[in-house]
Structures are given as C-alpha cells and as structure tokens.
Chains A and B, each alone.
Chain A
Amino acid sequence: MIPELGHYALVLALALGLIQSVVPVIGARGHDAALMRLGTSTALMQFLFVGLSFLALTISYVTSDFSVASAFENSHSRMPLIYKITSVWGNHEGSMLLWVLILALFGALVAAFGRNLPATLKANVLAVQSWIASAFYLFILLTSNPFLRLPQTPAEGRDLNPILQDIGLAIHPPLLYLGYVGFSIAFSFAIAALIEGRIDAAWARWVRPWTLAAWTFLTVGIAMGSYWAYYTLGWGGFWFWDPVENASLMPWLAGTALLHSAVVMEKRNALKIWTILLAILAFSLSLIGTFLVRSGVLTSVHAFATDPTRGVFILIILVGFIGGGLTLFAWRASTLKQGGLFAPVSREGALVFNNLFLTTACLTVFVGTLYPLALESLAGEKISVGAPFFNLTFGPLFLVLMALMPFGPLLAWKRGNILGVAQRLMAAYAVGIAALAVAFAVEGTQSVLAPFGVGLAFYVMAGAAVDLVERTGLFRMPLGIVARRAAGLPRSTWGTAVAHFGIAVTLLGIIGAGTWGVERIVALKPSQTVSLADYELTFDGMMARSGPNYSEQAAKFTVKTGGVKIGVMQPSKRNFMARDTSTNEAALMTRGAGQLYLSLGDTNADGSIAIRLYYKPLVMLIWLGAIIMMVGGGLSLSDRRLRVGAPKPAKKPADKSTTTPTLQPAE
C-alpha cells in the first residue's frame, strides 16, 4: 500500500509540475496576479508530494519490504538502520528521487522566501523550475520507477553494494545534489530574465545567495566524496580524474565563475550577458554530470545500472534544456542592455580575469572528460585520459589563477592601481618566499616544484589576510578600534578572505600528500615490524570478527614512534555474505595534519600478509581547506544584504559601494 501511495504522490507532483510549468507564465504575460500566485502554491505542494513519495520509499527500505524491486535489489534486513536509510539513494531509482526531492525543495524555497521578488520574475522563475522538475518526474515515472513491485516477495534482499555501506553515503550524495541542483535556481532566474528581456543589478542580488548556497554545498560535497574515496578504495588516492569526479568539478568551476561575475553585476551593473550565460552553463554542466553518471555511458561505482532507454531519455532532457537555454540566450541576449564601463585594471577587470581562467580550466576538464567518449563513438578508438593530461592543462591554469588571486580583492572598483596593490602585497610575498625557503631547507631539492607550490599557498593565505588587516587597521590602530572595524566589515568581505584562504590550504594539502607522501608495500608475518617515515608498525596477528551482515578478518598493528607506543591500527577485509563480496577497510591514524594509512592485501601461503602502508603528510589539509571554503561561503551567505528571506531589502545599503538606485526592487 505504502509504495503505491508513494508512486501516486509522485504522479500528483508531476501533475502539479505541469500546471506550474504553464499557468504562471500565462499570468506573467497578462499581468494576472492570481495566475502568477498559483505558482507559489503549486511549488510548495510539489515539495510536499515529492517529500511524501520519498518518505514512502524510505519506509519500504526501513521496514525491509522486499516486494519493492529496488529495496530487494539494494537492501538487506540485517543492515544497520542508517544504511537502510542511505541505501534509498544508493541505487539509480532512489538517487533520482532524491534529485527531484532537492529540486522541489529549492522550488519551494523560492516560493516561500521570494516574497520581495517582482511578481512576474517570480512567476517565470517558478515556471522554469517546474519545467526541469516535470522532465525529471517523467523520467523517473517512465524509466526508473523506484516503487515497482515484484510478482513474488523474496524472503531476503540482495544487500547494498558493500562499498556503499559507509557513512559517506549519508553525507556525500545529499550535499553534492544540493550543489548540483542548487544551480537550477540560477538557471531558472537566467531563463526568466531572458523571457522578460529585462535584467538589472537587483537580479544579480537575488541570484547570488542561491548560487552561493549551491556552491557551498557543492564544494563540501565534492570534498567529502574525495575523502570517502580516499579511505574506502584502499590505495590512498584522493582524486583520480575519473570522469564522474570531473562531472562534479565542471559545475563547480562554472559556479565559482558565476559567483564572481554576479558580484560585478550586482555592484557595477556590468557583465550582464556573461553572467546569464554562466548561469545557464553551470546548470547545464550539472545536467551533463547527471547524464554521464546516470546514463551508463561510464563505468564506475556511481553507474548503478545500465539501461539504454534511460540514457536516451536523459539525453533528451539534456538537449532540451541546454539547447533550449542556449538558443533562448542567442535570441534574446541582445535585448539586454549592457551597462557599467570599467578600466581593464580594476576590481571588475580582475574578476573578468578570474572568469576567463575558471572557464578555460573548466573547458580543459570538459575536453579531457568528453573527448574519449566522442573518440570512441566516432572512431572506435578507446583511450584513457588521466592525471598526466590534467596536470599539464588544468594544473598550470589553476596555479596562475591562484597567483593572481590576492590582487582581486585589493583592487579598487572602476579603476585600480596595480602597482599600489603589488606594494600592498609585500608582506604576502615575504611570507611566500619564507615558506619556499623553509620548504627547500627541510625537504631539499628532490622536487623543485613542490617548494614553489608551498610558497604559493602561503602567499595566497597571507594575501587573503592582507585585505582583512588593511580594512580592520590591525597593527596600526588600538585593538578596540580594530575589533569594532572587524565587526563592521561586511560578512561577504570576511567570506571572500576565508574562502581564498581555504583554497590555498587545499593546495598545500595536495602538494604535501602528493610530493612528500611515502609508501611501502610489503608482506609481513606476525611479530614482524615495518618502518616508514618516523613510524614503526608491528604486526601482532589476525583476528576474526563479525558484524551485522558481514564477517571480517582484521589485522592488528602496534604503532610506535621513537620507541613509544602511540596506538594500534586495525585494517580489515570484510566479506559480505549476501553478495559474496569483500571490501577492504583501511585503517587511518591522524598525526597532526598528516595521516598514516594502512590497508591489507592478500594472505600468502606462508602465513604472511601483504600490506600497503602510506604516510601522507599534510593530507588532511585538502579537506580542511574545503571546510574552510564552506565556512567562507556561509559567512558570505549570512551577509545582511544577501540574506535569503530578509523580509525587506535593506532600506539603505550599508556598504557604500552599493548605492546604485537599481538595487531597489522595482515594486
């Protein structure tokens, strides 16, 4: 009964979606307030019904109702409750349902908190949002129905893919989807602006918080996926340039560019057409990501099942929205008025530069990801494009971008003084050069590039601090005044500095783990010792353990440094009975920002066991940097000017640079 209710709720959501796709647009054309308002109610109702549908599916999984095909395929009655819940989206059908749930959530948020949006803009935005939602409801109902019943109820489920039986599944997909799908709002706003043929700085001000929220979620979603892959795949890598990873990196790059160009549009009423294009691209890349992952074009742990009809359906959605969006852009963009001239050397100029680098970097990732697919379908040749390709293309672009990053926030709007800024960054160069010298002194010249990378990272961190130091008057004024100034700074200024600091922290982690990481692969017998870096690990022996739906062989290692015991590590191999599959559970020991990483290989005939041991200095900084970026995004989001759902727009903008009259909504 419950699965049928869930199915029915989804059908109702589709019906509401179709109504919302049409009626508000008609209302906006004829300035009929009642028709326009309808979109608000249907958006809230859509969220309610998709929510009910998702709840129904969750109940089927939690109660182990194996008459539901997807629960039978992906769940098991003996799994812990948390995995019963997460396995709802640990498969194709359920994960698409989560996708539309988040899409409906964003639609409902716009409906609920968009009270101060002009009525026509809001009506059009909700309609466009509903086009996307309806397309995906149809996709689920026609090709991927999660509520499908089996003719006979099996006694036991086939269990969730053991690799996915991890807390990572509770964190990574929802965050990533909040990011991916969040860009749909920017897309809907862009399409609505093109339909209306009108766009101003206020538009950017409404779009920016949504983009910022999506970006923040995407940043931490990607980082958590990376950490999950790192500890679960057993070979200590944190980024594999796998097409599926690239699929999430591309919207991140486009979204980062959008975030910056929207600033220019909001403050200076310039770069309008470009911002619209980026908004379309960011979501298009999210759709391409969904296509790559869900269509079965790629083989990976993310491609749950391959069914050609699904691929074709998603391709149709993809072509419809990307093609339609870009066509509308080509047709209508010329009607938008450009405004806000600026000199090349200025804050605007710096942000344009940022955009050029980010979109070019995004393009290289795009080529590296899609070229192999195109080549295979056109020429039948199969190639693999991996880290070496991206290190040669994406790498240099991103490093140059980072080297220029500290300049941006220090340049003045309209016309900046590059020499002045270069002088103000003296302290940052000094920090960078000192870090470079220390890195050379400590690590020697085994890798020439790495110390420069360390210098670059410290220079960017110091550069981010310079902006705050100058604005608060730290080191120049009494502490009381500094504190008051710091409190008075716009939160978005803090957000910028913190996020820029965060990306430098991530860079430092990548360099540390990549360059100075050490690795040993050996076979050990009980009571033998292996040493790596400053650590000695003694293999104490194996022991058998059992979990709720698996049995495992764990190895116990005593870890010592300088003769002092600091702990034990217990990597294991788990065997999952239901699927007769084994997983490798690496053991991690965090030492400062570095980690010892130990995973098990095969047991040999002579009783020895193969182990893979890594010491990765600074590796934790990779993800810590992403968390710092998330904090930066959150700070910026909490800025008074941008607060989502602030009942009234600021009467008089606090920031002196935002005094253009167009900032007030038209009503």
Chain B
Amino acid sequence: MLALAIGLVLNAMTGAIVFFNSPTDVMEKNLSPGTRVRIGGLVKPGSVQRGDNLNIRFEVTDGQHDVAVRFQGIVPDLFREGQGVVAEGKIESGYVLAADTVLAKHDERYMPKEVVDSLKKSGRWQEGATQ
C-alpha cells in the first residue's frame, strides 16, 4: 500500500508539478519553450494592452527583467498596473508566457508571498511600502 502510494506520488512529481520563477529566473535559466512555469512580480506600469476577444498582454517585472505574458480571459478584480500578479502557463519562444491562469492578490493589504520573495531577491522590496 505504501509502495503504491510512493509510486503514485513519484509518478505525479515528475509530470504534475510546476516551478515558480521570477522574471530574472526565466532569463537566467534559459528555460526552453514548452516548459510550464509560474511567474510572479509586478504588472509593469504602462504595459497592459487589451485586444479583441478578451485578449490581454502585459509584462511582469521584478525590476531587473520583464517577461511578456499573453492571456485570454478575464483577469481578476485586483489586477492593476503596478500591483502584484502571479501567472501560470507555458513558455513560448522569445520568453513570452502563454498564461492560462492569472492570479492577483486577494486583498489590498496583502501581496502574494511569491511576489514579495521575487521582489526581495531583486532588491526592490521595501517593508511597508506596498499599501
């Protein structure tokens, strides 16, 4: 039974897990197209472009590098320029992320932890400056 469980878990680990990256990670790791990742950072001010059929493009930045994201659908209520965002999807050539999920923070007081860490790493984070 335990062996079965371990087998199932290991099998799932290889295919069903998504790594989290900051935009800098995406650039530095030179991720190959088709890789599924989750990226976090701020929506770069001025980068949001809305097209037809609910297509939207924006850039996620950690202050050092930007990654373009394209998404079709409805973005969360708290998706705003300059605010924290997490996007998950497949990397396409030219470091564009074709996202199928876009998450924003739940509440104006909190920032997704992944975004905080991503910003801390790039030295852009200031305690208490997010409100």
Which of B9, B74, B107, B114 contacts A382, CB < 8 Å?
A: B114
Please indicate which of the listed interface residues A381, A382, A573, A601 has the most CB atoms of chain B within 10 Å of its own CB. Answer: A382
Closest chain B residue to A389, Cβ basis: B16
Which of B4, B16, B107 contacts A301, CB < 8 Å?
A: B107
Q: Can you sample 9 A-B contacts with CB below 8 Å?
A: A360-B2, A382-B20, A384-B19, A384-B20, A384-B88, A385-B18, A389-B12, A393-B5, A521-B74
- B108 interface residue, CB < 8 Å from A? yes
Given A161-B107, A382-B38, A392-B12; 16 other pairs, CB 8 A cutoff: A234-B77, A299-B113, A299-B114, A301-B106, A357-B1, A381-B20, A382-B117, A383-B17, A384-B19, A386-B18, A389-B13, A392-B15, A521-B73, A573-B77, A581-B107, A582-B78
A521 to B56, CA, bound (A): 13
Q: Is the CB of A388 within 8 A of B54?
A: no
Q: Which residues of A (296-318) have their CB < 8 Å from a CB of B?
A: 298-301, 303
- A396 interface residue, CB < 8 Å from B? yes
Residues of A at the B interface (CB closer than 8 Å) are 161, 163, 234, 298-301, 303, 356-357, 360, 363-364, 367-368, 381-386, 388-393, 396-397, 521-523, 573, 579-584, 599, 601-602, 604, 610, 612
A582 to B104, CA, bound (A): 13
Instruction: State how many residues of chain B have any CB contact under 8 Å with chain A.
Output: 35
Chain B residues closer than 8 Å to A367, beta-carbon distance: 9
Please indicate which of the listed interface residues B5, B106, B113, B117 has the most CB atoms of chain A within 10 Å of its own CB. Answer: B5
CB of B103 to closest CB in A, whole Å: 10
Closest chain B residue to A581, Cβ basis: B108
Which of A161, A356, A385, A573 contacts B1, CB < 8 Å?
A: A356
Closest chain B residue to A386, Cβ basis: B18
Q: Is the CB of A392 within 8 A of B8?
A: yes
Q: Is the CB of A363 within 8 A of B108?
A: no
Closest chain A residue to B118, Cβ basis: A382
Q: Is the CB of B8 within 8 A of A396?
A: yes
Q: Is the CB of A393 within 8 A of B74?
A: no
Residues of B contacting A: mostly: mixed
Which of A364, A521, A610 contacts B5, CB < 8 Å?
A: A364
Chain B residues closer than 8 Å to A360, beta-carbon distance: 1-2, 4-5
Q: Is the CB of A523 within 8 A of B12?
A: no
Q: Is the CB of B17 within 8 A of A389?
A: yes
Closest chain B residue to A580, Cβ basis: B108
CB of B91 to closest CB in A, whole Å: 15
CB of B54 to closest CB in A, whole Å: 6
From known contacts A382-B20, A388-B12, A612-B74, infer whether A397 and B106 are also in contact, taking CB-CB under 8 Å.
no
A430 to B74, CA, bound (A): 45
Q: Is the CB of B1 within 8 A of A393?
A: no
- B30 interface residue, CB < 8 Å from A? no
Chain B residues closer than 8 Å to A364, beta-carbon distance: 5, 8-9
From known contacts A382-B114, A392-B11, A601-B54, infer whether A163 and B107 are also in contact, taking CB-CB under 8 Å.
yes
From known contacts A382-B19, A580-B108, infer whether A397 and B5 are also in contact, taking CB-CB under 8 Å.
yes
Q: Is the CB of B77 within 8 A of A583?
A: yes
Chain B residues closer than 8 Å to A599, beta-carbon distance: 74
- B124 interface residue, CB < 8 Å from A? no
Closest chain B residue to A299, Cβ basis: B113
Q: Is the CB of B8 within 8 A of A582?
A: no
Nearest 10 CB-CB pairs, A to B? Answer: A382-B20, A601-B74, A388-B16, A392-B12, A389-B16, A299-B113, A393-B8, A360-B5, A389-B12, A301-B106
- B112 interface residue, CB < 8 Å from A? yes
Which of B16, B17, B20, B106 contacts A300, CB < 8 Å?
A: B106
Chain A residues closer than 8 Å to B16, beta-carbon distance: 385-386, 388-389, 391-392
A604 to B52, CA, bound (A): 10
Q: Is the CB of B19 within 8 A of A381?
A: yes
Q: Is the CB of A602 within 8 A of B75?
A: yes
- B50 interface residue, CB < 8 Å from A? yes
Chain A residues closer than 8 Å to B54, beta-carbon distance: 521-523, 601, 610
A248 to B127, CA, bound (A): 32
CB of B25 to closest CB in A, whole Å: 9
A301 to B105, CA, bound (A): 9
Chain B residues closer than 8 Å to A382, beta-carbon distance: 19-21, 38, 114, 117
CB of A585 to closest CB in B, whole Å: 11
Which of A298, A300, A523, A601 contacts B53, CB < 8 Å?
A: A523
CB of B112 to closest CB in A, whole Å: 5
As a 0/1 sequence over residues 95 to 131 of chain B, the CB contacts with chain A under 8 angstroms (1 = contact) are 0000000000011101011100100000000000000
From known contacts A383-B19, A388-B12, infer whether A363 and B110 are also in contact, taking CB-CB under 8 Å.
no
CB of A519 to closest CB in B, whole Å: 10
Q: Is the CB of B50 within 8 A of A604?
A: yes
From known contacts A384-B38, A388-B12, infer whether A602 and B74 are also in contact, taking CB-CB under 8 Å.
yes
CB of B27 to closest CB in A, whole Å: 17
CB of B118 to closest CB in A, whole Å: 9
CB of A540 to closest CB in B, whole Å: 20
Q: Is the CB of B8 within 8 A of A397?
A: yes
Q: Is the CB of A299 within 8 A of B110?
A: yes
Chain B residues closer than 8 Å to A363, beta-carbon distance: 5
Closest chain B residue to A599, Cβ basis: B74
Chain A residues closer than 8 Å to B88, beta-carbon distance: 384
Q: Is the CB of B106 within 8 A of A163?
A: yes
Q: Is the CB of A385 within 8 A of B17?
A: yes
Q: Is the CB of B12 within 8 A of A383?
A: no
A610 to B11, CA, bound (A): 39
Chain A residues closer than 8 Å to B18, beta-carbon distance: 383-386
Chain A residues closer than 8 Å to B74, beta-carbon distance: 521, 599, 601-602, 610, 612
Chain B residues closer than 8 Å to A300, beta-carbon distance: 106
A138 to B110, CA, bound (A): 27
Closest chain A residue to B1, Cβ basis: A356
CB of B120 to closest CB in A, whole Å: 12
CB of A315 to closest CB in B, whole Å: 17
CB of B46 to closest CB in A, whole Å: 17
A290 to B108, CA, bound (A): 24
Please indicate which of the listed interface residues A234, A367, A384, A601 has the most CB atoms of chain B within 10 Å of its own CB. Answer: A384
Closest chain B residue to A161, Cβ basis: B107
Chain A residues closer than 8 Å to B1, beta-carbon distance: 356-357, 360
A610 to B73, CA, bound (A): 9
CB of A568 to closest CB in B, whole Å: 21
As a 0/1 sequence over residues 64 to 104 of chain B, the CB contacts with chain A under 8 angstroms (1 = contact) are 00000000111101100000000010000000000000000
CB of B10 to closest CB in A, whole Å: 10
A388 to B16, CA, bound (A): 5
CB of A295 to closest CB in B, whole Å: 12
CB of A397 to closest CB in B, whole Å: 7
Closest chain A residue to B5, Cβ basis: A360
Chain A residues closer than 8 Å to B50, beta-carbon distance: 602, 604
CB of B106 to closest CB in A, whole Å: 5
